[in-house]
């Protein structure tokens, strides 16, 4: 059974606000009132307590809160006029918030207090009476180390104890250094924005509408424009303004993609280094030249594949290109698991999920690619340079790639590079997200009488160009990888080429991960839907009449205001630790 309305969960700045507590509960104990006062004090509010339930309560509260000069306890009954006289001068005496916890013999006063608060637009919370409350407090974890991290959970009245347990489960799953992660990201963010804002203001760039806001750094964390932080940047044709914003965009992606525990040590200098060419690669505008330059720097190696040069003094290392699948550990092959466990160094794509990275032994060196907008080619060369250097030291190198190495993963390019330098790579396939995503999204890619073929395309070609789009075939399921960041352009081109504007479409993000999201809509609505729901990379598009075949049809009848349907989460199988 669903709820008619969900509560709007917000973060409130209570500094200096006057919060009125009416009553101190039943006669048994006043611990709830004392606990609430302490919580309000911790958040900067000024608690005022009136209508204490008994003299014993008054004495106990005074004892517990002795030394708290900012707490006012009025030893008298509550009056409705207190709502407009006990507040701050700034608000004309009106209190900022009201908490009601009256004893049983005064419970009949609650309705009048609630009605008056509604008239005065004062938020009110009445203990155990949601019908007389305009807000509620949720179980909240506050980082004791003061990083600012808070985690609140609400079941919307379905059970406070359940919400408390969910909160504990979430907190238990966080890395041990989460305090350092939050503090460090805040520090780097402040340093970066201060530098970039000064530069932007100095160049009168702020008025162009392309400045820092919109990348998820503000207070409105529920509706920041996440569909923009993967916006296409032409790496070899960047304007000065693009370059100014590049570090800011990279930081937003580091926060979203990198292993959580590693964020504790990211520095502003790391972003500066990422904005530069790798030391082993000469400056050039063509990626093909990078590879030639790198090969020349390592010396000529005209060898039989798999055989080290005769004059090489270093031990001969091993290289494997390993597909890690779409994200779920259950979709990782045994071969991939073996390579991960036996590697000396792992070079991983930034989108390899944390669940897979957690399988890497703690003693194994792991480097995460810095493939952010405007830096993909440079980051690729950095990976190749690191891999080649490790091979020349006799190490076993595992290039861990999301999905399958040869499905739009540059696997062929990497194989050729290492082969040209004398190292034949072992290539292990992975389950490609292009096909796994359809399964986890309840889409039969082929279905008798509906879809008799599957086509996998990319939405981003070399140097960011939009590739030639295919013709529309009604009986085909078409998968577009790397296309969400240009959904508006792709939709325009497809419609110009004669695609059916009403063909069903699914946006599948984080396929097979716990935070998987599947959004079903129609092709004509795609740009609007992407802008409204934002982005949760990595994601892809599946277009075709098979998209909604297994879904209750009443959920996918799109018209008017009902333009999309979202399904959240993925239920994976439970893999026992001994198998990992």
For the chain, the domains span 18-137, 178-274, 287-431, 434-568
pLDDT tier, 9 (very low <50, low <70, confident <90, very high otherwise): confident
225-265 tens-digit pLDDT: 555 555 555 544 555 555 556 777 778 778 877 788 889 98
Are 392 and 317 within 8 A, CB to CB? yes
Q: What would the mean pLDDT of 38-56 be, rounded to a whole number?
A: 90
Q: What pLDDT does residue 440 have?
A: 96
Kindly compute the dihedral angle of the four CA atoms of residues 522, 528, 531, 537, in this order, to the nearest 10 degrees: 20
pLDDT tier, 300 (very low <50, low <70, confident <90, very high otherwise): very low
Q: What would the mean pLDDT of 254-277 be, rounded to a whole number?
A: 75
347-364 tens-digit pLDDT: 998 888 888 999 999 999
Q: Which of 163-177, 257-271, 433-447 has the lowest mean pLDDT?
A: 257-271
Please name every residue paired with 481 in a beta bridge, in sequence order, or none if there are none: 458, 540
For residues 269 and 499, which has the higher predicted lDDT (pLDDT)?
Answer: 499
Mean pLDDT score across all residues of the chain: 83
């970066």: which residue's tokens? Answer: 192
301-323 tens-digit pLDDT: 333 333 334 344 345 899 999 99
Q: What pLDDT does residue 448 have?
A: 96
378 has a pLDDT exceeding 90:
no
Distance CA 429, CA 447 (A): 25
Q: Tokens for 532, please give them.
A: 């409204």
Q: Which of 440, 579, 441, 514 is nearest to 169 (CA)?
A: 514
Which of 196, 349, 370, 401 does the annotation list as catalytic?
A: 349
Distance CA 45, CA 195 (A): 34
Distance CA 438, CA 506 (A): 9
CATH class of the domain defined by 287-431: alpha beta
Q: What would the mean pLDDT of 137-157 be, rounded to a whole number?
A: 90
For residues 464 and 157, which has the higher predicted lDDT (pLDDT)?
Answer: 157
Q: What pLDDT does residue 284 have?
A: 28
Q: What pLDDT does residue 355 have?
A: 86
Highest mean pLDDT (candidates 60-74, 304-318, 378-392, 440-454): 440-454
200-213 tens-digit pLDDT: 555 554 444 444 44
CATH class of the domain defined by 434-568: alpha beta
Q: What pLDDT does residue 28 have?
A: 62
Q: What pLDDT does residue 389 have?
A: 94
Q: What pLDDT does residue 506 have?
A: 98
64 has a pLDDT exceeding 70:
yes
349 catalytic residue (yes or no): yes
Q: What pLDDT does residue 304 have?
A: 33
Distance CA 435, CA 27 (A): 63
């923009």: which residue's tokens? Answer: 228
DSSP label of 51? S
Q: What would the mean pLDDT of 25-48 be, rounded to a whole number?
A: 85
Q: Work out whether strand 150-152 and strand 140-142 pair parallel, antiparallel, or are unpaired.
A: antiparallel
Residue 408 backbone class (left: φ over 0; alpha: ψ -120 to 50; beta: rest) = left
- Helix, strand, coil fractions of the chain, as percent rounded to 5: 40, 15, 45
Element (H, E) at 249: helix 240-257
What's the angle, vertex CA 297, arms to CA 384 and CA 279, rounded to 5?
Answer: 65
For residues 534 and 323, which has the higher predicted lDDT (pLDDT)?
Answer: 323
Q: Please, what sign has the CA dihedral across residues 221, 222, 225, 226? A: positive
Which of 167, 371, 395, 401 does the annotation list as catalytic?
A: 371
Are 49 and 71 within 8 A, CB to CB? yes
Distance CA 219, CA 240 (A): 28
Are 88 and 44 within 8 A, CB to CB? no
Q: How far is CA 58 from CA 38, 48, 234, in A?
A: 16, 13, 68
Q: What pLDDT does residue 230 have?
A: 55
Q: What pLDDT does residue 290 have?
A: 37
Distance CA 352, CA 327 (A): 7
Sorted by sequence, the CB contacts under 8 Å of residue 262 that are 6+ apart come out as 368
Q: How far is CA 180 from CA 148, 249, 260, 292, in A?
A: 11, 22, 11, 41
574 catalytic residue (yes or no): no
Q: Tokens for 401, please give them.
A: 């790639």
Q: What pLDDT does residue 227 have?
A: 53
pLDDT tier, 196 (very low <50, low <70, confident <90, very high otherwise): low
| Of the options 3.40.50.720, 3.30.40.10, 3.40.50.300, 3.40.30.10, the CATH number for the domain spanning 18-137 | 3.40.50.720
Q: Tokens for 47, please give them.
A: 């608690």
Strands (E) located in 35-176: 46-50, 72-74, 97-100, 124-126, 140-142, 150-152
For residue 35, report the phi and psi dihedrals to the nearest 5 degrees. -60, -40
What's the angle, vertex CA 568, arms to CA 566 and CA 572, rounded to 5?
Answer: 140
390 has a pLDDT exceeding 60:
yes
Distance CA 333, CA 250 (A): 31
341 has a pLDDT exceeding 50:
yes
């Amino acid at each position: 059974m669903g709820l008619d309305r969900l509560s709007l969960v917000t973060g409130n700045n209570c500094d200096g606000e006057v919060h009125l507590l009416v009553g101190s509960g039943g006669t048994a104990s006043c611990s709830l009132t004392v606990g609430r006062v302490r919580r309000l004090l911790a958040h900067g509010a000024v608690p005022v307590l009136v209508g204490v339930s008994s003299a014993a309560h008054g004495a106990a509260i005074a004892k517990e809160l002795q030394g708290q000069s900012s707490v006012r306890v009025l030893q008298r009954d509550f009056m409705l006029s207190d709502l407009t006289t006990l507040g701050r001068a700034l608000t004309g005496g009106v209190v900022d918030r009201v908490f009601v916890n009256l004893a049983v013999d005064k419970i009949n006063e609650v309705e009048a207090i609630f009605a008056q608060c509604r008239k005065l637009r004062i938020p009110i919370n009445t203990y155990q009476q949601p019908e007389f409350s305009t807000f509620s407090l949720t179980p909240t974890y506050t980082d004791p180390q003061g990083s600012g991290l808070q985690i609140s959970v609400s079941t919307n009245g379905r059970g406070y104890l359940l919400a408390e347990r969910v909160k504990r489960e979430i907190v238990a799953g966080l890395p041990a250094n989460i305090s350092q992660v939050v503090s460090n990201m805040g520090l780097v963010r402040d340093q970066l924005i201060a530098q970039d804002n000064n530069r932007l203001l100095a160049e009168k760039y702020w008025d162009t509408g392309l400045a820092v806001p919109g990348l998820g750094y503000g207070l409105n964390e529920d509706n920041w424009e996440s569909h923009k932080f993967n916006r296409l940047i032409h790496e070899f044709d960047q304007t000065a303004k693009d370059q100014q914003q590049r570090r800011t965009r990279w930081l937003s992606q580091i926060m979203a993609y990198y292993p959580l525990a590693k964020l504790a040590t990211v520095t502003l200098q790391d972003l500066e280094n990422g904005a530069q060419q790798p030391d082993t690669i000469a400056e050039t505008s063509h990626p093909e030249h990078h590879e030639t330059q790198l090969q020349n720097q390592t010396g000529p190696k005209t060898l039989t594949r798999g055989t080290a040069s005769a004059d090489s003094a270093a031990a001969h290392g091993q290289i494997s290109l390993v597909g890690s699948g779409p994200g779920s550990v259950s979709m990782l092959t045994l071969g991939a698991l073996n390579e991960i466990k036996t590697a000396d160094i792992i070079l991983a794509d930034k989108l390899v999920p944390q669940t897979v990275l957690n399988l890497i032994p703690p003693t194994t060196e792991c480097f995460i690619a810095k493939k952010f907008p405007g830096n993909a080619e440079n980051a690729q060369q950095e990976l190749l340079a690191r891999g080649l250097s490790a091979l020349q030291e006799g190490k076993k190198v595992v290039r861990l790639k999301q999905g399958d190495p040869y499905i739009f993963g540059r696997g062929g390019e990497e194989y050729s590079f290492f082969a040209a330098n004398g190292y034949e790579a072992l290539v292990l396939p992975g389950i490609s997200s292009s096909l796994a995503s359809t399964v986890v999204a309840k889409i039969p890619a082929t279905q008798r009488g509906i879809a008799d073929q599957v086509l996998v395309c990319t939405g981003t070609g070399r140097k960011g160009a939009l590739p030639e789009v295919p013709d529309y075939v009604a009986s085909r399921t078409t998968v577009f990888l790397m296309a969400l960041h240009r959904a508006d352009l792709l939709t325009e081109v497809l419609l110009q080429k004669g695609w059916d504007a009403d063909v069903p479409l699914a946006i599948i993000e984080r396929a097979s991960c716990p935070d998987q999201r599947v959004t079903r809509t129609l092709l004509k609505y795609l740009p609007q839907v992407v802008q409204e729901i934002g982005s949760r990379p990595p994601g892809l598009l599946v277009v075709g009449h098979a998209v909604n075949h297994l879904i209750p049809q009443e959920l996918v009848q799109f018209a008017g205001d009902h333009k999309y349907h979202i399904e959240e989460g993925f239920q994976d199988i439970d893999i026992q630790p001994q198998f990992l």
